[in-house]
Amino acid sequence: MQPGGKGTKQIAANKKAYHDYFVLECFEAGISLTGTEVKSVRAGTLNLKDSYCRAKDGELWLLGMHISPYKQGNIFNADPDRDRRLLMHKREITRLGSRVTLEGLTLIPLSLYFKDSRVKVEVGLCKGKKLYDKREADAVKSARREIDRKIKELNT
59 vs 52: CA distance, rounded Å: 14
**pTM (2 decimals)?**
0.78
Determine contact, residues 23/126, Cβ cutoff 8 Å.
yes
Boundaries of every domain in the chain: 8-130
Each residue's pLDDT tens digit, 79-114: 888 899 999 999 999 999 999 989 889 999 999 999
Q: Decide which of 2.40.280.10, 3.40.50.670, 1.10.10.10, 2.40.50.1070 is the CATH code for 8-130.
A: 2.40.280.10
- List pLDDT tens digits, range 109-120: 999 999 988 999
Q: Quick one: which H or E segment has residue 111?
A: strand 106-115
Amino acid letter at 138? D
> Does the pLDDT value for residue 2 go beyond 60?
no
